[in-house]
Amino acid sequence: MKKEKILVIGASGQIGVELTLALRKIYGGSQVIASDLREENELLKGTGPYVSIDVMNKEMLHVQILRQNITQVYLLAAMLSATGEKNPPLAWNLNMQSLLNVLDIAKEEKLHKVFWPSSIAVFGPTSPKLDCPQQTIIEPTTVYGISKYAGEFWCNYFFHRYGVDVRSLRYPGLISYKSSPGGGTTDYAIEIFHSAKEKGSYTSFLNEHTRLPMMYMPDAIKATIELMEAPAEKIKVRTSYNIAAMSFSPIEIANEIQRHIPAFKIDFKPDFRQTIAESWPQSIDDTHARNDWGWRHDFDLSRMTLDMLHNIN
């Protein structure tokens, strides 16, 4: 087992649950402290320690980091794109202040590493739609995207100015079955599987041809851990890495589900999330991640669909 003591903030969320479980396998249950504002997720119970932390309370966070001898922090607490548009000041405050609190403590306590996720939401309508490159025009139109882009530059700043080894990925929409999604524009691609199995039909809040970059959770967890374990000299992008696995639209995922559930039906009632989705690229160029630290994905649409349908009860 490796000698690190890890704090996962936002551990009861969609990514947090699976990331905490994966880190506990590598580092040992007692070495990975799960924390969240909400109660401990059922799947985490009995697998390692849990503490209640509000990441906005910097003093409390600092005390916990010292008390638990933390050497690495994974910061996952945030408000996602769709929820963020309902309360922009709250989203900006949480997404920015949480990161600044963690970076400041990391600098002061000389933490070994910090992970903080960005998103494809940094891109906006003026970014290239296809194979959107690492460096390009970036003019986000959601408060979530603005907060992620600003956050990327804070990471870059703390690395170059203070030597904080903070690493980041621009996750695409993430699809999983173990824990519920937290209010994103890409959540339809999770709801559709549950609805297909429960009702045999689904009404999509995005229209049929809205293609977005997506990734299955096991790939996202693999990317996160590989990025964090890579030697520091291989991490050449200190804002946030583009990563990609697949792209599909609601009609394409519906067609894939129909291969397993032929009677499955889909219809479309786009809401405010359609505008958000249309502002994002359809596909992402992740050459830098592939070249710098060897990123490779395992799941495409058909393999993910098979696994989701198999695992959702």
Catalog residues that contact ligand NAD under the rule CB under 6 A: 9-10, 12-16, 36-38, 53-56, 76-78, 80, 94, 117, 119, 171, 173-174, 181-182, 184, 186
Minimum gap (Å) between residue 233 Cβ and ligand NAD: 26
State the Cα–Cα distance between residues 279 and 82, nearest whole angstrom.
Answer: 13
Using DSSP bridges, classify how beta strands 32-36 and 6-9 pair: parallel, antiparallel or unpaired.
parallel
- Shortest CA distance to 249 belongs to which of 221, 280, 272? 280
Q: Which residue's beta carbon is nearest to the bound ligand SER? A: 184
Minimum gap (Å) between residue 190 Cβ and ligand NAD: 9
If the CB atoms of residues 65 and 120 are measured against ligand SER, the closer one turns out to be 120
Choose among ligand NAD, ligand SER, none what residue 185 binds, the Cβ cut-off being 5 to 8 Å by kind. Answer: ligand SER
What is the contact surface with ligand SER in residues (CB under 6 A)? Answer: 80-81, 119-121, 144, 173, 184-186
If the CB atoms of residues 5 and 148 are measured against ligand SER, the closer one turns out to be 148
Q: Is 202 a catalytic residue?
A: no
Minimum gap (Å) between residue 192 Cβ and ligand SER: 14
Minimum gap (Å) between residue 155 Cβ and ligand NAD: 12
- Shortest CA distance to 122 belongs to which of 81, 90, 157, 163? 81
CB atoms inside a 10 Å sphere around CB 299: 22
If the CB atoms of residues 122 and 264 are measured against ligand NAD, the closer one turns out to be 122
Minimum gap (Å) between residue 206 Cβ and ligand NAD: 14
**186 touches 83 (CB < 8 A):** no
Q: Where are the alpha helices (DSSP H) in 2-57?
A: 14-27
Q: At residue 280, what are phi and psi to the nearest 5 degrees?
A: -100, 160
Choose among ligand NAD, ligand SER, none what residue 164 binds, the Cβ cut-off being 5 to 8 Å by kind. Answer: none
Among the options 27, 50, 74, 144, which is catalytic? 144
If the CB atoms of residues 33 and 82 are measured against ligand SER, the closer one turns out to be 82
CA dihedral 182, 15, 301, 191 (to 10 degrees): -30
Minimum gap (Å) between residue 175 Cβ and ligand SER: 9
Beta-carbon-side half-sphere exposure of residue 150 (alpha carbons within 13 Å): 17
If the CB atoms of residues 55 and 120 are measured against ligand SER, the closer one turns out to be 120
Choose among ligand SER, ligand NAD, none what residue 10 binds, the Cβ cut-off being 5 to 8 Å by kind. Answer: ligand NAD
State the Cα–Cα distance between residues 297 and 245, nearest whole angstrom.
Answer: 6
Choose among ligand NAD, ligand SER, none what residue 145 binds, the Cβ cut-off being 5 to 8 Å by kind. Answer: none
State the Cα–Cα distance between residues 33 and 48, nearest whole angstrom.
Answer: 7
If the CB atoms of residues 111 and 264 are measured against ligand NAD, the closer one turns out to be 111
- Burial status of residue 270 (CB atoms within 10 A of its CB: 0-12, 13-18, 19 or more): middle
- Shortest CA distance to 217 belongs to which of 4, 7, 43? 43
- Shortest CA distance to 293 belongs to which of 240, 232, 217? 232
CB atoms inside a 10 Å sphere around CB 133: 15
Question: Which amino acid is located at 109 in the chain?
Answer: E
Choose among ligand NAD, ligand SER, none what residue 81 binds, the Cβ cut-off being 5 to 8 Å by kind. Answer: ligand SER
| Catalytic residue ranges | 144
